[in-house]
Amino acid sequence: MGRDERIVLEPLSQDDPTTTSDNSGSTEKPAGLGGVMIGIGEQVYSILLLSFFFLEVYTTGFIPYIGKALNFVLLSWMYAYYCFEYKWNLSEVALDRRLDFFESNWAFFAGFGSPCVLAIFFSPLVSYGVMAVLFPLFVLTATSSGAEQLVSSQRRKWKGAGLGRLPIFYAADTLSLRILSLIPLESPEQMQDNKEL
Cα 53 from Cα 72, distance rounded (Å): 14
Cα 131 from Cα 145, distance rounded (Å): 20
Predicted structure pTM score = 0.76
What 3-state class would DSSP assign to 120?
A: helix
The residue ranges of the chain whose pLDDT is under 50 are 14-26
Give me the helices (H) in the chain, please.
33-60, 67-90, 95-104, 106-118, 124-144, 147-157, 170-181, 188-196
Cα 84 from Cα 100, distance rounded (Å): 13
Q: What is the pLDDT of residue 72?
A: 92
Q: Which of 48, 22, 83 is nearest to 181 (CA)?
A: 48
In this structure, are residues 12 and 165 in contact, taking their beta carbons and an 8 Å threshold? yes
- Neighbour tally for 140: CB within 10 Å: 14
Q: What is the pLDDT of residue 25?
A: 45
What 3-state class would DSSP assign to 63?
A: coil
Give the model confidence (pLDDT) of 69-99 as tens digits.
999 999 999 999 999 998 888 888 888 889 9
Q: What is the pLDDT of residue 19?
A: 39
